[in-house]
Structure 1
Amino acid sequence: MPPPRARRWPLVVGAVLAIAGAAVGLQQRQVAASWQERAVAIEEERDDARARGEAFQRQLEEVADALATSETDVGALEERVRELADEKAQAEDVATTTGVERDTLVELSGAIAGAVTALDGCVDQLFDLLGDAIDAFNRQGAGETVDVGPLNADRTATTARCNDARQAAASAAATADRLLR
């Protein structure tokens, strides 16, 4: 039988190896547990980062939608501004045209009023001349002597006044033609 020391040696080596193996196993277990804790922590960080990324993505989408809406609104506002500018230009054109038309009508109205006044004077003098001529005719028919000199003078003045009225009417017609073209 081998000496007790010699037999012990493999037992001691076996025990040391077993203790060393147990220590290494324990250490490996602790390292594995540490790595597992790290993995869990990293997974939690990853999940948190993913959630923040998704929230950020939603915010970006909301901002993109708001921007698209704003761009549409800006486009609509630009179109409305162009429409308003056109309306303003048309209103200014109408105001200018209305002013020109008003001035034209004032000028034409003055010309017509002058012609009407002249024609009224002509008609009044014609009625006076007609009345005087009828009186003279009736007096002569009654045997009275009638001096036709004043009647001839009235006829000449009436003819001149009526010619002036005709000229005023022709001038008003020419003004109307010129202004209304």
Structure 2
Amino acid sequence: MTRQWGRSSVTREALLTAARDVFLARGYGEATVADIVERSGISVGSLYHHYGGKPGLYLALWEDFHRGQEERTVRAAKAVDASSKERFLAGARAYLEGSWERRDVARLFLENDGPAEFSTLRRRRGWTWIRGNTKLLGLDDSRRSHVLVVMLTTVMGEAGREVAACESEQDATETIDEVISLVRGMLDG
């Protein structure tokens, strides 16, 4: 039984790696299942068994990327023994640094070239981030607090895309520093 699970894990990883490479090279719309199967060396049947098709692979890559971003952000925020604002800023910096470190995959999601269900999933994830940021900042449920958190969350999402699009590490670092400075100002205002 363990051997079967091990093979399934290897199969899933090979398919995800191949899908990432093909999507990065051709874009989601131009990529085909045949391209992914050829690149992975895994059968079409296994692809459909594990992911249900090309959309499932794309969404699995996106989920993996965002799960990593969430884990990175939470770790950074918890590591700071300070105010909720400073914990938020530490998490924000970690999120942006993750956008640079995983820029290849982050850039893939910049294109808005995913499956139809991607926009719905992205909206749901945005609301999850908003709830988490509200809690992290310790804000009440007033309209002002809600608007502030929506703005901060939106700024961070777009800033992550901007960092991922940077051409050099120096540009990314400068962008991250500028974003953190602006977000600090929003929190102080």
Q: Flag the structure with higher helix content.
A: 1
Bigger relative contact order (CA 8 A; separation at least 6): 1
The structure with the largest alpha-carbon Rg is 1
Q: Give the TM-score range, shorter chain.
A: under 0.3
Query: What is the TM-score of this pair, normalised by structure 1?
Result: 0.23
Query: What is the TM-score of this pair, normalised by structure 2?
Result: 0.22
